[in-house]
Amino acid sequence: MAFASSRIGAQEAIIKPCDLCEDDEDVNWFCKDCFQNLCDRCKKMHLKIPNCRSHEVVSILEGIAITKEAVTNLCQDHNVPFSFFCRTCDENICSKCLSKKHKKHDIIDIHEFQSELHKELDTILNEKETEKEQMTKNLVTWSEFETRCEKTLRENYTNIDKRVKAITSAATEEGEKLKKYLQSKEEGQMTESKESKEKIEARKDAYNAEIQVIKQNIPLQTTSTLNQFVKTSVSRLQSLKPLSLPMPRSTTFTIGSIKKDQIRDMIGRDGDQRDASGPSKDKTKKRRKNVLEKLQIMRSHKLDIESRCYSMCASPDGSIWIGGYRYVYKMSSDCSTVLHQIPTRESLWSCHYISCLQSGDAVVSYGVSSPLDRFTSGGRSVEFADLSPNYTSYIAVSDDDKVAIAVYNDSGTSSSVVLFSKEGKRLNTIETDTEISSFCIDNDGNYVISDTKHKCLTTIDRNGTVLKKIQMKKSIPQRMTCDRYGNILGVIEKKYVFLMNDEMKVQQSFTVDCDYGINDMCIDKDNRLSILVDNTKVIVAKYLE
């Protein structure tokens, strides 16, 4: 670095007029070989000189960065260029520093360190670009949903009008009421979609602004400032979180059966109604109040299975999946016949948690291991995902086929939820301030968590935002499931079952007669409640009949 002193002088001159003509206008250029400021006219003359034709002339801004680098790249103690970076001390050092106070430290060549920093920054920038593109795709999806809602609403109006004209004049009033209900519901969906679009667009603009600021500042960083710039940039980029969108429900119109005493059934009903009784709110409340006052046991069936069983779920095709020791079983709807007996991984592990996809396949967690497996309705076992080195526990599947897994942390408690697609692709991870004793997914796609740490039920969305907390007076549930009406069924102390409505208020509870306790429960497509007890027996009861 024979030009160190002259470069210092050049830095001081960088804000002065042209070094050739001393004019202070149009000084837009800098010669990297001569370390001189040049105006537009002198730049042309400079490059015509035979000895200067090969010189590299750059913009004055780049010249500022070059001059700063020339000064800041010198070791203040030894006045020689920095050659290494000490990870131990987090600072640039020269070769003389290396042999003195940095012995046995973690040392890396400064150019290799710069390359690592650029790679780290490129990686996080690429991730955020991908997230921005995904949000753009989501906006397109929501635009399509708006169009579909408008089309569906028009079709509903047409069907309702035709139906009303086909029946007596007494049905006209009920038909108009139903049309207003459908319209208000669709308007609510449209309003929600517009609000979601605005939030996504705002968040996308924030991503773009942050990314552009960092990209523009990268060329101006020097060796000395690059490390801190990367740390700050990575922190700022990681603070950006993408927004996810709830799965919309499109309102449909279903033709009702004509009955003399029920005009509304002559018109039809909204196909998205949670209660099969129709849109009557009073009737819905009455039905929910009497759901489990008298549990009507249809049958009690001892499983014809050698191993002990721990979990169960209902398949859309009417069959029942049961997870046991060393095997997973696909049973007939009444659990009297084994349709498939499939060995678990290595024919050793026990299936403690199981849930079902819309295709009829079951996804299982073994409770004391990292892998997750999928058992097909045809009787095969395939690998689904692997969360090594963490252990997996409770599992739940949403209506849109997203698979949520509770994961143990280092302290041995479940405190995070990992979301997968139905193909086993990892989507996101939510860290929670809870200890998950059990959890399920409600009809809006939110996670309802039985929290041992705070003795409460906590509902969070897929971004980790806490929506509500309900304090439990006694024990908290060890198993939970959500029915199609939004009610939550939970098991307390292995023998009590409670019913909680969609407003998180306990409505009913009952005791199951068993010796060792309730293992799991599920509700099948025919609205029957199946309860696995004592690891060997299934009790089937009427539910919301």
Q: Which of 132, 125, 63, 481 is nearest to 313 (CA)?
A: 481
Residues 6+ apart with CB under 8 A from 136: 204
Q: DSSP class of residue 135?
A: H
Secondary element (H or E) of residue 398: none
Determine the Cα angle at 328 with ends 322 and 333, to 5°.
40
- What is the model's pLDDT at position 350? 86
What are the structure tokens assigned to 145, written together?
């949903």
- pLDDT, one tens digit per residue, over 190-225 is 777 787 788 888 888 888 888 888 888 888 888 888
Q: How far is CA 94 from CA 77, 97, 226, in A?
A: 9, 5, 17
Give the residue carrying structure tokens 């517009």: 194
- What is the model's pLDDT at position 279? 36
Instruction: Characterize 25-56 residue by residue with b for buried, 16 or more Cβ atoms within 10 angstroms of its Cβ, and e for exposed.
Output: eebbbbbeebbbbbbeebbeebeeeeeeeeee
User: What's the CA gap between 503 and 249, in Å, rounded?
Assistant: 20
What are the structure tokens assigned to 484, written together?
């199609």
Which amino acid appears at position 483 of this protein?
A: D
Which residues, given as ranges, of the chain have pLDDT below 50?
1-14, 259-260, 273-293
Strands (E), 32-83: 36-39, 57-59
Q: Which of 127, 402, 126 is nearest to 245 (CA)?
A: 402
User: What's the CA gap between 424 and 403, in Å, rounded?
Assistant: 8
User: What's the CA gap between 303 and 541, in Å, rounded?
Assistant: 16
Q: How far is CA 507 from CA 66, 85, 288, 442, 451, in A?
A: 73, 66, 8, 17, 20
- What is the model's pLDDT at position 97? 85
**463 burial type by CB count under 10 A (0-12 exposed, 13-18 middle, 19+ buried):** exposed
Q: Which of 460, 471, 502, 508 is nearest to 484 (CA)?
A: 502
Secondary element (H or E) of residue 53: none
Q: DSSP class of residue 262?
A: B
| Gyration radius from the chain CA atoms | 34
- What is the model's pLDDT at position 2? 30
- What is the model's pLDDT at position 361? 92
Q: Which of 67, 62, 7, 54 is nearest to 29 (CA)?
A: 62
- What is the model's pLDDT at position 330? 92
Q: Output the DSSP codes for 339-390.
A: EEEEE-GGGT-B--EEEE-TTS-EEEE-SSSSEEEEE-TTS-EEEEEE-TTS
- pLDDT, one tens digit per residue, over 358-394 is 889 999 998 777 789 999 988 889 999 988 888 888 8
Q: Is the peptide bond before 389 cis (omega within 30 degrees of 0)?
A: yes
pTM: 0.48
C-beta of residue 512 within 8 angstroms of C-beta of residue 533:
yes
- What is the model's pLDDT at position 289? 38
45 SS3 class: helix
